[in-house]
């Protein structure tokens, strides 16, 4: 258990509405990530953060923005949700301790349906 909490765990929203997913960690890890999981695509990186207010794009960042104002929280926002953003979203942290070898640990996921 890497102390990762995602909220909400399940959400149904309408096309065109904004949606924010929250990831909270309790272990002060520097790196945090947002991935989406879709059948046939595995996990794809949306955005990641390497510190407070330091973020970068992943391979599928279009339509998403992120913010990290505190070490413990990493927010993913869909400014105007589309049906193609229906997916399972996973937050992750990287354990940068030497013994861990930069292992990435995942939260339980947030199921988002855009109708």
Partner 1 sequence: AQSVTQLDSQVPVFEEAPVELRCNYSSSVSVYLFWYVQYPNQGLQLLLKYLSGSTLVKGINGFEAEFNKSQTSFHLRKPSVHISDTAEYFCAVGKADKLIFGTGTRLQVFP
Residues engaged in binding partner 1 (CB under 8 A): 31, 33, 35, 40-45, 48, 50, 58, 90, 94, 101-109
Give exposure, 102-115, as e/b (b: 16+ Cβ within 10 Å). Answer: eeebbbebbebebe
Q: Sign (positive/negative) of CA torsion 42, 68, 109, 30?
A: positive
The residue among 27 and 108 lying less far from partner 1, judged by its C-beta, is 108
Residue with Cβ nearer partner 1 (1 or 14): 1
CB of 1 to partner 1, least distance (A): 10
36 close to 89: Cβ distance less than 8 angstroms: yes
Cβ 78 to partner 1 shortest distance, Å: 20
- In this structure, are residues 110 and 89 in contact, taking their beta carbons and an 8 Å threshold? yes
Nearer to partner 1, 40 or 62 (CB): 40
């Amino acid at each position: 258990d890497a102390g990762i909490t995602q909220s909400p765990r399940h959400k149904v929203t309408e096309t065109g509405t904004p949606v924010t997913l929250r990831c909270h960690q309790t272990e002060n890890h520097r790196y945090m990530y947002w991935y989406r999981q879709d059948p046939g695509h595995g996990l794809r990186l949306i955005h990641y953060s390497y510190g407070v207010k330091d973020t970068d794009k992943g391979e599928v960042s279009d339509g998403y923005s992120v913010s990290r104002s505190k070490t413990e929280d990493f927010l993913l926002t869909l400014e105007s949700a589309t049906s193609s953003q229906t997916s399972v979203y996973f937050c992750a942290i990287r354990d940068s301790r030497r013994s861990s070898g930069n292992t990435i640990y995942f939260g339980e996921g947030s199921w988002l349906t855009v109708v």
